[in-house]
Amino acid sequence: MSINLTPAQIAWLGGIAAERGYASLDEAAQAVIAEAMAGLPTGFEEPQDELVIPLLDEARNHLRNGGDIPLAAFSAAMDQHMAKLKNQ
Protein backbone atom coordinates (compact mmCIF):
# COMPACT_ATOMS: atom_id res chain seq x y z
CA MET A 1 0.00 0.00 0.00
CA SER A 2 1.19 3.50 -0.78
CA ILE A 3 0.06 6.66 1.01
CA ASN A 4 0.70 10.21 -0.17
CA LEU A 5 1.31 12.67 2.67
CA THR A 6 1.32 16.45 2.68
CA PRO A 7 4.53 18.29 3.55
CA ALA A 8 3.02 19.19 6.94
CA GLN A 9 2.25 15.53 7.66
CA ILE A 10 5.75 14.50 6.65
CA ALA A 11 7.21 17.16 8.95
CA TRP A 12 4.98 16.00 11.81
CA LEU A 13 6.05 12.38 11.33
CA GLY A 14 9.66 13.52 11.05
CA GLY A 15 9.31 15.17 14.45
CA ILE A 16 8.00 11.95 15.95
CA ALA A 17 10.76 9.92 14.30
CA ALA A 18 13.45 12.26 15.61
CA GLU A 19 12.00 12.53 19.10
CA ARG A 20 11.52 8.80 19.55
CA GLY A 21 14.52 7.61 17.58
CA TYR A 22 12.68 5.79 14.80
CA ALA A 23 14.82 4.83 11.84
CA SER A 24 12.29 5.94 9.22
CA LEU A 25 9.05 7.77 8.62
CA ASP A 26 7.43 4.40 7.90
CA GLU A 27 8.42 3.17 11.35
CA ALA A 28 7.09 6.37 12.96
CA ALA A 29 3.81 6.11 11.03
CA GLN A 30 3.36 2.48 12.08
CA ALA A 31 3.93 3.42 15.73
CA VAL A 32 1.45 6.32 15.60
CA ILE A 33 -1.18 4.14 13.94
CA ALA A 34 -0.64 1.39 16.53
CA GLU A 35 -1.01 3.95 19.33
CA ALA A 36 -4.18 5.35 17.77
CA MET A 37 -5.60 1.84 17.40
CA ALA A 38 -4.84 1.20 21.07
CA GLY A 39 -6.41 4.53 22.05
CA LEU A 40 -3.12 5.95 23.32
CA PRO A 41 -2.10 9.59 22.92
CA THR A 42 0.49 10.21 20.20
CA GLY A 43 2.43 12.69 22.32
CA PHE A 44 1.67 15.51 19.92
CA GLU A 45 -1.43 17.13 21.33
CA GLU A 46 -2.47 20.53 20.05
CA PRO A 47 -1.35 23.31 22.40
CA GLN A 48 -3.92 25.48 24.13
CA ASP A 49 -1.55 28.33 24.90
CA GLU A 50 -2.80 31.50 23.20
CA LEU A 51 0.77 32.68 22.64
CA VAL A 52 1.86 29.47 20.90
CA ILE A 53 -1.10 28.89 18.60
CA PRO A 54 -0.44 31.86 16.25
CA LEU A 55 3.23 30.86 15.95
CA LEU A 56 2.28 27.30 15.03
CA ASP A 57 -0.28 28.53 12.52
CA GLU A 58 2.36 30.75 10.92
CA ALA A 59 4.84 27.85 10.75
CA ARG A 60 2.24 25.49 9.28
CA ASN A 61 1.28 28.03 6.62
CA HIS A 62 4.95 28.52 5.79
CA LEU A 63 5.39 24.76 5.31
CA ARG A 64 2.18 24.46 3.28
CA ASN A 65 3.54 27.10 0.91
CA GLY A 66 6.73 25.13 0.36
CA GLY A 67 8.87 27.09 2.80
CA ASP A 68 11.51 25.54 4.94
CA ILE A 69 14.49 26.51 7.07
CA PRO A 70 17.83 24.72 7.27
CA LEU A 71 18.40 22.90 10.57
CA ALA A 72 21.52 24.95 11.35
CA ALA A 73 19.61 28.23 10.93
CA PHE A 74 16.75 26.93 13.07
CA SER A 75 19.12 25.77 15.80
CA ALA A 76 20.92 29.11 15.84
CA ALA A 77 17.61 31.00 16.06
CA MET A 78 16.39 28.76 18.88
CA ASP A 79 19.66 29.17 20.80
CA GLN A 80 19.34 32.94 20.47
CA HIS A 81 15.69 32.85 21.58
CA MET A 82 16.44 30.63 24.58
CA ALA A 83 19.29 32.93 25.63
CA LYS A 84 16.88 35.89 25.60
CA LEU A 85 14.37 33.96 27.70
CA LYS A 86 17.04 33.03 30.25
CA ASN A 87 18.07 36.68 30.58
CA GLN A 88 14.56 37.94 31.33
pLDDT in tens, 49-87: 787 778 877 877 777 777 777 778 888 888 998 998 888
Residue 10 has a pLDDT of 92
End-to-end CA distance of the chain: 51
Say whether pLDDT at 42 is over 60.
no
pLDDT in tens, 21-40: 889 999 999 888 887 777 65
Cα(8)–Cα(18) distance, integer angstroms: 15
In Å, what is the CA distance from 33 to each residue of 12, 21, 46, 56? Answer: 14, 16, 18, 23
H or E element: which one contains 50?
none
Cα(46)–Cα(57) distance, integer angstroms: 11
Residue 14 has a pLDDT of 92
